[in-house]
Amino acid sequence: MKPYYEDSAVTLYHGDFRDHMDTLTAAKADAIVTDPPYGETSLDWDVWPIGWLADAAAIADNLWCFGSFRMFHERAAEFATWKLAQDTVWEKHNGSGFHNDRFKRVHEFAVQWYRGEWGGLYNDPPKTADAMRKTVRRKERPTHMGEIAGTNYESTDGGDRIMRSVIKLRSMHGKAINETEKPVQLVSQYITCSVPIGGLVVDLFAGSASTGVAARQLGRKALLFEKRESQCEAAARRLERETSQPFDLGAIA
Ligand SMILES: C[S@@+](CC[C@H](N)C(=O)[O-])C[C@H]1O[C@@H](n2cnc3c(N)ncnc32)[C@H](O)[C@@H]1O
């Protein structure tokens, strides 16, 4: 089947990703970085695709999946064939309140799952030059943590430090082309640590193609799928427009 959009780094197919399983399994992706329909809103496309995690397991052994705690909790049985590696939090500047008698939710999770041996996966631990020193550096490691092998958690060399698991970034509110668009800078964190330069990332629920834009900027390749033609059209326009744009550093102050 002909891609909807293609350049030297990004290929976008229109349609349900499950109709492209031959292409997906042949591609030998390093990781899936994706943002499925959580099934929590009244949007017509927001329907959890039952069984997609089994399909994902045939595509890659490394999966970063966006979601809410409610989503991961309700779908726990479907994640059972995956092992949990870590959870991160995206803290947004605004939020969506589903209930007016509970906390306003201003965060989402991005959770990493894997199959097989952790040591067999590509993993470039996420580093940052601006981790908060007071929080990251300790004279003594707390005893309950045991050994943290191979990290520079306590680095005193002034170099990069392991990133904190809460990532504060402005949401795409006001400029998004997908109703639940993820910032390129956010998606980039997950691609960087799980996909080597020149490697391939797959996004099964591509929306606005943030994963494609990020992968291309990072020197990786991306294979994307999006069911709605209107989204494919908007994503293709974006991919053409943003070929040489630098990151939008919209971090929350
Ligand atoms: C949560 S949104 C993804 C947003 C995306 N991360 C972004 O930053 O723009 C999920 C997208 O998956 C699409 N979708 C839903 N089911 C799909 C399926 N089975 N195959 C491909 N795309 C699907 C929806 O149309 C929607 O645009």
Question: Is residue 205 within 6 Å of ligand 1 at its C-beta?
Answer: yes
3-state secondary structure of 108: strand
Q: From the CA of 43, how far away is ligand 1's center (Å)?
A: 11
User: pLDDT of 45-54, one tens digit each?
Assistant: 999 999 999 9
Please give the number of the atom of ligand 1 that sits closest to the Cα of 177. Answer: 9
pLDDT given for residue 129 in this prediction = 78
Q: From the CA of 205, how far away is ligand 1's center (Å)?
A: 3
Averages of pLDDT over runs of 10 residues in the chain (253 residues) are 96 98 97 96 94 98 97 97 98 84 94 98 89 55 62 53 94 92 97 98 98 98 98 98 62 45
CATH of 29-126+163-197, one of 3.40.1230.10, 3.30.1540.10, 3.40.220.10, 3.40.50.150: 3.40.50.150
**What residue ranges do the domains of the chain occupy?**
29-126+163-197
Q: From the CA of 224, how far away is ligand 1's center (Å)?
A: 10
Give Cα 183 to chain centroid, integer Å: 10
Identify whether the C-beta of residue 83 lies closer than 8 Å to the C-beta of residue 76. no
CB atoms within 10 A of CB 75: 19
